[in-house]
Amino acid sequence: MRRLFLIAIIAITTTTVWAGTRRPATEAPATTASDVFDLPYLMKDLKNGLRVIVVKTDYPDIVSLQIPVQTGSRNEVEEGKSGFAHFFEHMMFRGTEKYPQDVYKAILKNAGADQNAYTSDDLTNYHMTFTKPDLEKMLELEADRFQNLSYTEEEFRTEALAVKGEYLKNFSNPVRQMLERIRDTAYTTHTYKHTTMGFVEDIDAMPDQMAYSKVFFERWYSPEKTAVIVVGDVDPQETFKLVKKYWGNWKSSNYEADIPQEPAAQGPKYDHLHWEQPSQPWIMVGFHGPRFDPSQKDMPAMDILSQIYFSQTSDIYKKLVTQNQMVDQLWAYFPDRKDPGLLIVAARLIDVEDTATVRADILDTIARARSELVDADRLTDIKSNQRYALTNRMDNSSSIGSLLASFVHFERTPETLNQVYYRYDELTPEDLRQYANQYFTDSNMVTVTLANETEIAGINDGPSLQQRVAALTNKAPADIQFVEMRSATAPLVDVSFLFNTGAAYDPPGKKGLAALTAAMISDGGSAKRSIDEINNAMYPIASGFGVQVDKEMIRLHGTMHRDNLAHWYALAGEQLLTPGWRESDFDRIKRRMINSINSDLVGNNDEELG
C-alpha cells in the first residue's frame, strides 16, 4: 500500500455580602469567586428534620416556592407497588378537610398563582409562583396538604384510572416505549428497571391498593425527606418563622428503604420493539453509567463527553443529520441519578435499512471518545459555555428555585450545585478519556431498536466496541517529516505542508479529484469557521492559505510576518485538520473549477484559430 508523507517546511528568522450558609441553622462565610451559585441564602432545619432554604432576590414582588420530596420511582422497592410516587403527585391535588380540592383551587386562582408538579426517578417536586403578599397563605396551604392529605376510596380509584389513561397515552409514543424497554432490558435488580409511570400490571392493580397508598404516603411524605425552598422578594428570617409556624408540627416517619443495588452488567444486550403502526425507525444505544456524586468527576465527565460527541455541533450529527441525512433526530440523554443510571444515545432514522449503519457510526464515535484526547481549548470553551449558560438561566426567581430543587434533593443543600461545577472545572482531556473507557464498554452496553419491521437486518454485525477501540489505538503514527530552514535576516515566515500525492493518483473517471479536495481544504473554511470568517481573520496579517497541486505533490502553504505565525497557524490549522466540507462550498468550488476548464478550452481554441 502506498504511504502518504506530509512534510512541514518552516522558514523562520533567528530571533531571541451576606452569604450562603454551609451548615443548617448558621449563616456562613461569603461565597467564593468560583461559585456558580453565589446568591445569599438562609438554610435551617426544623426540629422535625424539615430543611428550609430561603433565597432573597432582587426581582420585585415575585416569590417561587419549591418543595422537593426525596421520593421517586427509585423508592418503589416492593413488588407490585411500582408507580406510587407518580400516583401521589396526582393525589396531592385532591385536597384536605380544611381546604377541599375546589376551595384549594379557588384560592390559587384568586391569588393568580402558577402551580404544578413533576415526578422523576429520584424525587417528586411541587412548585408554585405567586406574589409576595400571598406568601403566608401559600405556605399554609402547602403545609396543610402535606400533613393532612385526605381522599375517599372513590377519589382514589378515580385518580388510579386517570393514571392508567396517562400511561396508555404515553404508550402510544415510540420514544416512551423505547425508554421503558431499554430500562427493563438493562436492569435486573435495581428499581430503575421501571419508569416513573411503573409497570403496566402494577398500574392495572392500583385501584385496589387504597390501603397501601396510606402506607406509602406516611413513609415518604415526611419532613426529613423534604425541603421547603423559598426564592424571591422576601425577608429570609421572617420567611423561616412562617415555615416554622405552619410546618413545625409535621411528624417524621424516619423510614428507610433498602434499595437493591444492580450487579455488574453482563452485556452487550439487545432487544427489538416491533411497532405495529407505520412509524419512523429508532435506535437507542445505552450504557450503565455512574451515580451522581458531587465529590467525584464521573458524571460531569460523561456530560461533557455527550456534548462533544453527540450534540448538534458534533461530527456524527453533521454526518448523519446534515450531510447523509440518514437521521432527522440525534440526541444524548445522560441524566444525574442517585444510583448508577443509563447513558443513552438515540437516533430517529429515515430508512430502516440504515439502522445497522447508524449503530456502527454511534459505536465508532464512542470508540473515538475512548481513544483520543479532546482538544484542550474546546474543553475550556465548553466549560465556559456551561458556566455562563447556568448564570443566564438564573434570571428570575422561578428559574432559580427550579434549579435549586433539581440539586437540593441529592444532599439537601444548594452547595451541591457549586460542588458539581468545581468538578467540571477540574476536568482534563485525560479525565474524559479515562471515564469514557470506564463506562463505554461492551459489557455495559444495551441497545434497543424500534421499527414497523419484526427484525433489523445486520444490527449485531460488525466489530465489537472493544475491537473498534483497538483498531484506533493500534494505528501506526503518521509518518511526518519536519524540515526547518532558517534565515538570519528575513522577517517573513513561509510554512508549507507537502503531501506525497497529487493528480496522478486521481481514480479512473474522477480526474480533478485531487485538485478539488485540496481546494476544499484551502478555500472551504473549517468546521468552526466559514471561509469568509477565515479570510476576514487573515486580512489584518496580510496572509492566506494557498494550494498548489502537481502530479505527485500537493502543497498547502502560507507566508506571514514572524509576529503573526501563531495567529496564522490557528486559522490554517483549522482548515487543514478540521475542514468544513460544506455542500455550499463544494458546489461553489466545483463550479469555479468547471468554469475555469471551459474558459481554458475557449482560450486554447481561439489561439489555434488565430
578 in a structural domain: yes
Could you give the CA distance from residue 538 to residue 526 in angstroms, rounded to a whole number? 14
Q: Do 242 and 281 sit in the same domain of this protein?
A: no
166-225 confidence digits (pLDDT tens): 998 888 899 999 999 999 999 999 999 999 999 999 999 999 999 999 999 999 999 999
Mean pLDDT over 58-66 rounds to 96
Residue 498 sits in a domain of what CATH number?
A: 3.30.830.10
Domain match, 196 and 299 both:
no
Half-sphere exposure of 465 (CA within 13 A, CB side): 28
Q: Predicted confidence band at 130 (pLDDT cuts at 50, 70, 90)?
A: very high
pLDDT score of 477: 61
Longest CA–CA separation in the chain, Å? 107
Please say whether the beta carbons of 19 and 27 come within 8 A.
Answer: yes
At residue 22 the predicted structure's pLDDT band, cuts being 50, 70 and 90, is very low
Q: What is the tally of structural domains in the chain?
A: 3
502 and 456 within one domain: no
Domain membership flag for residue 252: no
- Model confidence at 159: pLDDT above 70: yes
**Domain span at 217:** 48-247
Specify the residue for cell string 410546618: 247
Same domain, 580 and 509: yes
Residue 602 has what pLDDT? 62
Q: What is the average pLDDT score of the chain?
A: 90
- Strand 51-56, strand 227-232: pairing: parallel
Angle at 574 between CA 573 and CA 576, to 5 degrees: 65
Average pLDDT score over residue span 572-588: 93
For every residue of 57-74, DSSP letters joined together read -SSTTEEEEEEEES-SGG
Residue 16 lies in a domain: no
> Are 243 and 282 members of one domain?
no
Of 217, 247, 277, the one marking the end of a domain is 247
- Cα–Cα distance for residue pair 279/352, rounded to 1 Å: 10
Asked whether residue 257 is domain-assigned, the answer is no
pTM of the model as a whole: 0.74
Q: Are residues 107 and 210 in the same domain?
A: yes
Task: Establish if 388 belongs to a structural domain.
Answer: yes
Same domain, 344 and 445: yes
Judge whether 510 lies within some domain.
yes
Is residue 71 located within the same domain as residue 200? Answer: yes
Higher pLDDT, 602 or 545: 545
Could you tell me if 198 and 103 lie in one domain?
yes
Indicate if the pLDDT at residue 33 is higher than 80.
no
Residue 39 has pLDDT above 70, yes or no: yes
Lowest mean pLDDT among 31-35, 49-53, 68-72, 156-160: 31-35
Do 171 and 292 have their domain in common? no
